[in-house]
Structure formats: C-alpha cells, structure tokens
C-alpha cells in the first residue's frame, strides 16, 4: 500500500491525531456538562450557607441591638442592614438555582418553591417582631423611654418616699431580668396601694405614677408577645419556622447532591464508554499499521541492543531485512560499522587494560598518602591557603584574616597525670580528644595543634561558632567523666579561653621540613584567657572583641569579670564569662545584683560593693568569683587611697 517508510509513519500519525481530536471534543463537552450539574447543586448549597449566616445575624440583632440606644433612635442597625442584604442574596441565589435546573434532565422546583414560601412567612414574622421590639424601646426611647420619664419625674420631685421608690424600681428590674409574672403583680399592687395611700398627692404625681404603671404593663404585654428573653411567643414561632426552613433546604441540598452524583456517574459512564471506543479503534488500527512498520525496525533494534549489551563483541551478521526502503539501507550500513567497531575495540581494549592496571596501583598509593597527610595538615588549613593538595604547599605560604582562636585545657592535669602510667596518660589524652575534636568540627572549626592536653582551635567564620563549641564541651566532658568513673579515675574540669583578632595562617620551615602554624597576638591572648579560667573560677572566658563581634550577642547570658593586663602585654583586655552552660543557670538569677556590685566597685564605693558581693556569696558559696571580688573589695576598703588602683588587674602568671 505504501512504498516508503515515511508514508507509513505519516498515515499512522494522522490516524492518532484524528482520534485525539475527537477525544478533546468529547472531553470539552463532558466538562461543560459537569460544570452545569455542579453549579446547580452549588447554588443550593450556597443558599443554605447564606440562610445559616442570616440566622446568626438575626440572633445577633436580638442579642446585641436590643441594648443599643442608637438602634431605637435610628430604627436601623448594621445587623438589620446585613439581614436585608443577606435576604436579597438568598432570594437571588434561589432564583438562580431554579433557573439552572431548567437546563438539566431533572428538576428541584417543588422543593425550592416550598423553601421560598417558608422564607416569606419567616420574614413576615421577623418584620413584625422587629417592629414590636422598636415599639418596646430601650432606656430613653419609645415605650421604655416613656416609662422611665414618668418614674424619673417622681424621683426628681420626691413625690414618693425613697424606700417605696426603691421597691418599685427593684420590682421593675427583677421583671426585666427574670421575666417572671410575680414581679408584675407586685409592682401593680404597690402602685395601686400608693395611689390609695396618698390621696393628697398632687394630680401630677398621680398622673405620672399611673403613667409609669400603664407603660410598664404595656411593656410587659409586648415582652410576652415577643418572647425574646423567654424564647416564647413570636420569637419561638419565628425560630420554629427557621428550623423548618433549614430542614427543608437541607433536604433539598441532600436531594440535589444525590441527583448530582447520579447524573455525574451517568455522564462519566457515557464519557468513559465513548472514550474507550475511540481509543480501542485507534489502538487496533495503529497496531495493524505499526506492526508492518516496526517489525523490521524491531529486528534491527534487538540486534543492536544485543550487540551493545555484549560490549560490542557480537560478530554475527545482522538479520536479513525484507524491506527495500530506508530501514534496509540502515541495516546494511550498520553491518559495516559493526565490523569496524569490533576491530578497533579489540586493539583499544588491550591498551586500556594495561593502562588501567597501572593507574589503579598509583591511585591506591595516592589515597593512602592523602589520608595520612590529612591527619597532620587539616584540610580546612589547605583550603584557607588556597591549596588543593599538600603537594602545592611551600615555605612562606600564608593568608591574613580575622578569625577566632579557642584554647581549652584540663584543670590540674599535671597532678592527675602523675597518678597514671605513661600508657594510661596516652590513652587518657586520646580518649579525651576523641570526645572534644568532633565538637569543634561540628561548629565549623578546625584543630591547629595539640599541646599535651591543651587544644588550640581556629574558627574562621563567626565568633558564635567558637562560643557554641565551648558550650557543647560540657556534654562531651560529661560523657568522658562517665568513662573515667567507670575506670575509677576522678572526673575532670576544663577551662576555655576565646579571643577574636587579626592573624596570619601559613607555613614555616624550609624545603626539607615544613610546619603549619598561626602567628598572631590573638593566639597569645586566647591562651592567656584560658589560663585566667582558674583564677576567676570560670569555665568559659571571652574577650570583649569576641563578645562584640558575635552575631548572637543579644541571645547570650554573660557577666563582666575584669579589665586585665595579662603577662607580656601592656594593653588591658576586658574579659567576660559566658553563663549559658546548664551549670551556670543559678548565676544568671542574680546577674543584675552582680552588675550593680561591679558598678559600685568601679566607682570606688568598695564598702557598698563588698556588701553586695557578700550577700551574693552567701546566696551561692559555690561561685568562687564572688569570694575573689569580696576579698578585693575588703582589701581596697581597708587600705583606701593608700593602695593605688587604675581599675586594671595585672596578671603575673600565664
């Protein structure tokens, strides 16, 4: 039928395109029909929701507006206006729903008309109830206003004794609150008695007293008819009608949803049947044509796949191709290509195998060397030097920058090491470092060097990393101390000093011997701060440079320690203790008093400072810093000006 492969493909494509176009048209019709059905049901559901909102608005009107004088003055309110808008919306929605069902195979007119009639009856009751409520009035308006004007006249003119007036107002108030008839009877009886007992009262007094009673009785009659507070009368009748409307509309919604579901199922079945018919016809026709098109291609493809899967080693000939079109030419050309590829691959494979074996041996040696070098020269160190490998490092390579230096040291390690054998000392230090080093690396720092039990670490990114690492040391030390107790060794404590400053990171030595190092005054200061931990009984001491440059300064709890001039330095350094460790939580509770004592001491008021530190030391004897400051204040207070002091403590030891 077709003389070329191109013609067969074009015919198959046209067939599939035509079927796809029919499915698109069918899908569009299906979607329009679904939207019509769903829209009708949605309108009924929307009317139901609007009716529920309107019920809430009416409830708000009877619960809220009855206590708003503006409602009785203007005879309108936001709730009343909202009700009118909601009423119009419900009517429009119901009309739209009735109109939409005229285009569907089923109708809901009877149920919707019933709802419309019920709504009209409910609205008539609501209008009547609203009019009566406005006639009843509130405070100075309408019927209650007239009643209040009568009683106020009687009060202002002292026409009735004060105790009688108080009883009248109490009966009135009790009825308004409780809605019980006995208070109506009591008030009427009392007014009747007053009219009899005061025959000499002026005509005006009798007029206002009778007017007060009549207005009160009229208000009682209106309250009884409306039944707003007692949920009876017109209010009860309106509520019953609203419940009936809600039930009717709910039944219409349920019925509409059921019919919508049934109609959609019928529509879906029809759509599915027609779609499957089109797809089936397209598949059958395409299969018949495609089989004739793809058979030679399939045979050639399978052979090519087998040739590739064999790693280009299959040497048999390609299957005979029965067609004389483009596929036949492709098969013949592939056979020539296959033979040429096999010939070249055999030659290259031999050479590649030889070279691969040599490279694998060299690569294994390089990996071993790199792993060994990384233990002595940290990878971050090479990164900051801008080197990819230790082979690129030479004498004098360096980089300048501002970084944070951390020193941490075990307290009284010398005494502890004397109780251990050399092997135990090595095991002790290595176990300790295995706990501490991961904490530093986890907070983006790296080890510069180990000096016995002392760790020197660099934090290139942020001072916060160094402070966070120092705080996390507590968890590592807790695990290490548990290990020590299990081996009958006393637990340890550490001190940590942190300083931020300019430094030079690089290499020193010559061509035959190199060492990485950090050269900076910041290193010496950090080391001195670590040494101050014992003097100030602190776990973590930081310089003001570190504290100021920390991004999380406002989240830290810290306290000022001293202005110190460490050994070998002429310039003083302001140092602080970090109190965010769990064991320091008690110190935070009296931090404000502590700072007050520091301020008094700096101002030279040593006696007041001494009293503050003495009180705090009595509160927390374990805080060794308080005892240190207490002694200092006592000494200064005793010697006075004869002992000169510029506010800077000079440290003569490291």
Q: Is pLDDT of 653 > 60?
A: no
Nearest-CA neighbor of 195 among 214, 212, 209?
209
- Write the CB contacts of 485 (distance below 8 Å, at least 6 apart in sequence): 491
| Averaged pLDDT score across all residues of the chain | 80
Tell me what pLDDT residue 409 has.
93
Beta bridge partners of 400: 504
Token pair of 556, please?
A: 């830290």
Is 3.30.70.1230 the CATH classification of the domain at 381-581? yes
Q: Which helix (H) or strand (E) holds 54?
A: helix 5-64
Say how many C-beta atoms besides its own lie within 10 A of residue 348's C-beta.
9
Q: Which of 98, 40, 32, 28 is nearest to 261 (CA)?
A: 40
Strand-pairing partners, residue 502, are: 402
Q: What is the pLDDT of residue 325?
A: 63
Residues 340-367 pLDDT 10s? 777 777 777 777 777 888 788 777 776 6
In sequence order, the β-bridge partners of residue 402 are 502
Q: How far apart (Å, rounded) are the C-alpha atoms in residues 320 and 29?
A: 50
What is the number of other CB atoms lying within 10 angstroms of the CB of residue 327?
A: 19
Residue 18 pLDDT > 90, yes or no?
Answer: no
pLDDT (tens digit per residue) in 160-219: 888 888 988 898 888 888 888 898 898 898 888 888 876 654 578 888 888 888 988 988
Q: What is the mean pLDDT of residues 613-639?
A: 90
Q: Which of the two residues, 226 and 113, has the higher pLDDT score?
A: 226
Give the chain's end-to-end CA distance (angstroms, integer): 102
Residue 322: which pLDDT band, with cuts at 50, 70 and 90?
Answer: low
Alpha-carbon distance of 405 to 527, in angstroms, equals 9
Residue among 543, 532, 458 nearest 499 (CA): 543
Q: Give helix 109-136 / helix 78-101 axis angle, nearest 10°.
A: 170
Give helix 521-536 / helix 624-639 axis angle, nearest 10°: 90
The neighbouring-strand residues paired with 519 are 504
Question: Tokens 């690492």 identify what position?
Answer: 469
| pLDDT per position as a tens digit, 477-524 | 999 999 999 988 889 999 999 999 998 877 787 766 767 778 888 899
How far is residue 125's CA from residue 237's CA, in Å, rounded to a whole number?
8
Q: Which residues contact 350 (CB under 8 A, 6 or more apart)?
A: none
Residue that the structure tokens 């020590």 belong to: 484
Mean pLDDT for 61-68 is 80
DSSP-based three-state secondary structure for 186 = helix
Closest CA to 466 of 449, 446, 443, 438: 443
Nearest 5°: phi and psi at 443?
-105, 30
By percentage, how much of the chain surpasses pLDDT 90? 21
Strands (E), 444-524: 446-451, 454-459, 494-509, 514-519
- Cβ atoms 522, 501 nearer than 8 A: yes
Structural domain boundaries in the chain: 137-233, 381-581, 590-654
pLDDT, one tens digit per residue, over 114-139 is 777 878 888 888 888 888 888 888 88
**Contact 209/154 with Cβ under 8 angstroms?**
yes
CA 162 to chain centre: 65
Higher pLDDT, 283 or 221: 221
Report d(CA 55, CA 44) in Å as an integer. Answer: 17
Phi-psi region of 210 (alpha: psi -120 to 50; beta: other; left: phi over 0): alpha
Q: How does strand 558-565 pair with strand 573-578?
A: antiparallel
């Amino acid at each position: 039928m077709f003389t070329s492969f191109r013609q067969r493909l074009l015919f198959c494509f046209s067939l599939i395109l035509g079927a796809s176009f029919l499915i698109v048209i069918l899908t569009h019709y299906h979607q329009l029909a679904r939207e019509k059905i769903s829209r009708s049901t949605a309108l009924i559901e929307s009317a139901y929701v609007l009716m529920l909102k309107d019920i809430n608005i009416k409830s708000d009107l009877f619960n809220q507006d009855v206590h708003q004088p503006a409602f009785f003055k203007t005879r309108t309110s936001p709730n009343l206006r909202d009700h009118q808008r909601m009423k119009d919306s419900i009517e429009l929605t119901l009309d739209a729903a009735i109109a939409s069902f005229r285009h569907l195979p089923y109708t809901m007119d009877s149920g919707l008309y019933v709802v419309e009639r019920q709504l009209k009856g409910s609205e008539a009751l609501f209008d009547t109830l609203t009019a009566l409520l406005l006639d009843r009035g509130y405070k100075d308006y309408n019927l209650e206003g007239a009643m209040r004007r009568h009683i106020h006249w009687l009060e202002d003119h002292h026409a009735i004794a004060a105790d009688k007036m108080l009883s009248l107002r109490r009966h009135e108030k009790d009825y308004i609150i409780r809605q019980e008839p006995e208070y109506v009877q009591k008030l009427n009886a009392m007014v009747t008695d007053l009219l009899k007992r005061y025959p000499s009262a002026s005509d005006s007094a009798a007029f206002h007293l009778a007017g007060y009673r009549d207005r009160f009785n009229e208000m009682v009659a209106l309250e009884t008819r409306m039944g707003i507070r007692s949920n009876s009368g017109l209010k009860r009748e309106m509520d019953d009608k609203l419940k009936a409307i809600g039930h009717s509309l709910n039944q219409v919604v349920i019925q509409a949803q059921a019919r919508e579901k049934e109609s959609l199922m019928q529509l879906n079945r029809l759509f599915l049947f027609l779609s499957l018919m089109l797809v089936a016809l397209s598949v059958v026709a395409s299969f018949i044509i495609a089989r004739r098109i793809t058979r030679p291609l399939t045979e050639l493809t399978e052979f090519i796949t087998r040739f590739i899967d064999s790693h280009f080693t299959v040497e048999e000939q390609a299957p005979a191709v029965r067609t004389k079109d483009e596929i036949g030419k492709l098969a013949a050309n592939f056979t020539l290509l296959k033979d040429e590829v096999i010939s070249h691959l055999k030659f290259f494979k031999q050479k590649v195998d030889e070279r691969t074996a040599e490279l694998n041996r060299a690569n294994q040696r390089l990996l071993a060397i790199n792993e060994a070098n990384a233990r002595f020269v940290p990878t971050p160190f090479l990164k900051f030097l801008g080197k990819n490998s230790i082979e690129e490092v030479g004498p004098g390579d360096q980089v300048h920058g501002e970084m944070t230096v951390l020193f941490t040291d075990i307290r009284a390690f010398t005494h502890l090491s004397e109780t251990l054998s050399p092997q135990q000392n090595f095991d002790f230090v290595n176990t300790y470092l295995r706990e501490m080093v991961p904490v530093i690396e986890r907070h983006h720092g790296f080890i510069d060097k180990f000096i016995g039990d002392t760790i020197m670490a660099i934090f290139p990114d942020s001072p916060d990393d160094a402070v966070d690492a120092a705080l996390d040391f507590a968890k590592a030390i807790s695990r290490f101390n548990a290990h020590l107790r299990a081996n009958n060794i006393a637990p340890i404590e550490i001190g940590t000093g942190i300083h931020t400053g300019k430094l030079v990171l690089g290499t020193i030595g010559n061509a035959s011997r190199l060492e990485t190092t950090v050269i900076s005054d910041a290193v010496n200061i950090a080391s001195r701060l670590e040494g101050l931990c014992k003097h100030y009984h602190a776990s973590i001491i930081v310089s003001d440079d570190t504290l100021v440059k920390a991004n999380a300064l406002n989240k830290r709890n810290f306290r000022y320690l001293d202005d110190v001039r460490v050994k070998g330095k002429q310039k003083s350094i302001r140092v602080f203790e970090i109190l965010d460790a769990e064991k320091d939580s008690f110190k935070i509770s009296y931090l404000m008093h502590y700072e007050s004592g520091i301020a008094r001491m700096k101002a030279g008021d040593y006696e007041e400072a001494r009293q503050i530190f003495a009180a705090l030391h009595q509160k927390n004897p374990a805080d060794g810093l308080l005892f240190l400051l207490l002694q200092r204040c006592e000494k200064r207070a005793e010697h006075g000006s004869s002992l000169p002091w510029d506010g800077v403590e000079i440290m003569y030891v490291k």
